[in-house]
Structure 1
Amino acid sequence: MKKYFIQFRPFLVFIGTFFGAYILLTVLYKFYLDSFTGVEADGITSIVSHNVEQLSNVFNYDIKVEKNFGSPWYDVLFNGNYIVRIVEGCNAVSVIILFISFVLAFSGKLKTTLLFILFGIVFIYILNVFRIAVLTVLLYYFPQNNHLLHGVLFPLIIYGSVFFLWVIWVNKFSKYAK
């Protein structure tokens, strides 16, 4: 048995680090979410919602984001028409937790790891704000394609981008890159 632990040690360290970081970050995020009431949106979702509106203003789109006062989400209106709502799951924190856990599991030098994690968080956040803004516009013009746009295309873009970041990390910066 000891022979197998030695042989598979890198894999076991990866799995242990990945799941340890994932569980820890998820539990911390859950405690954060539990600090908000049932009709109050969490702060990260609020910031994402306001950033979607700010981004649309830069491109002269008439997107308004309004807090739904009976629920913990934001309603997104385009040209005065309700299109989508931004809920906690739209803030990309779960994707960021997954990203961080993987990078930590394939860690490299401390400074490089922390800088790459910071870069990844900012990249994923900005990509997510663009995703919501573009999705809003596309759903206004193509509401019949809701499942394709929201359920297939945009998750593919965000998870594909995270996968691309992981490939860069493993091949260029992690201690396994050599």
Structure 2
Amino acid sequence: MLKDFKPILGILLRFIIIYLVLLFGYQFYLNSFKAQGLDPFSRVIADHVMFIQNKLGYPTLLYDDIANDQVYFYVKKEYVTRMVEGCNAVSVIILFVSFIFAFYKGAKTFVFLAVSLLALYVMNVFRIVGLNIVTRDYQEYNKMAHDYLFPAIIYGSVIILWLVWIKFFALKNENS
């Protein structure tokens, strides 16, 4: 009977191991930058958000709050939002990578991951840009945008990419 579940158990075990290794690795990364404020990856995202907002006509400055591990976005000379580690979508990306590697299919796994991670990065940057614009110009929609709309964008993107991976790569018959 256990033999029937062996492939499923293998996928599940691979997922759990990869997830835990990535999660502990990420926590080690965060701990190594604790005294410096916001971690470098989150700071790069904040810099890209600032660049795009400046190009879109929303003059933006960043102010570091090292003691609280955050960066403030000042848009059109007003404090709008703050960037914290949780805004960088790494926790979602760790889950995504673990799932993709659970259904490992050789070199195409790495190609798919590279393209997908780039897409998720861009999506996350534009998600934060959108949130800053909504918060700056449409304050009455801020809570809905922050709590529901913009998380749905990043999680929805992950789900769509998972479905693409499963349908077109992971479950595709190699002989076809």
Report whether the alignment pairs 1:93 with 2:90: yes
Query: What RMSD in Å do the two structures reach over aligned CA positions?
Result: 1.3
Task: Look up the SS of the partner of 1:161 in the other structure.
Answer: helix
Task: Indicate yes or no: 2:143 matched with 1:177.
Answer: no
Aligned partner letter, 1:91: N
In structure 2, the partner of 1:7 is 4
Say if 2:97 is the partner of 1:63. no
Q: For the Cα contact (< 8 Å) 1:39–1:71, is it kept in 2?
A: no
| Aligned 1:42-53 pairs, distance under 5 A | 42-53=39-50
Post-superposition offset of 1:61 = 1.7
Q: TM-score normalized by structure 2?
A: 0.93
- Could you list the runs of 5+ residues in structure 1 that have no partner in the other structure? none
Which runs of no fewer than 5 residues in structure 2 stay unpaired?
none
Query: Which structure 1 residue ranges, 4+ long, deviate > 4 Å from structure 2?
Result: none
Cα distance in 1 for residues equivalent to 2:46 and 2:76? 17
**Is 1:53–1:63's contact at 8 Å kept on the other side of the alignment?**
yes
Shift of 1:154: 0.6
Which residue does the alignment assign to 1:34? 31
- Percent identity between matched residues is 34
User: Residues 83 and 162 from structure 1, CA distance in 2 versus in 1: closer, same or farther, beyond 3 angstroms?
Assistant: same
**Structure 2 residue aligned with 1:151, among 133, 147, 152?**
147
Q: TM-score, normalised by structure 1?
A: 0.92
- AA aligned to 2:116 is G
Give the drift of 1:39.
5.4
Q: Is residue 37–residue 65 contact of structure 2 (8 Å, CA) maintained in 1?
A: no
- Count residues with an aligned counterpart: 173
1:38, 1:71 within 8 Å by CA — same for their partners in 2? no
CA–CA distance in structure 2, aligned partners of residues 167 and 122 of structure 1 = 17
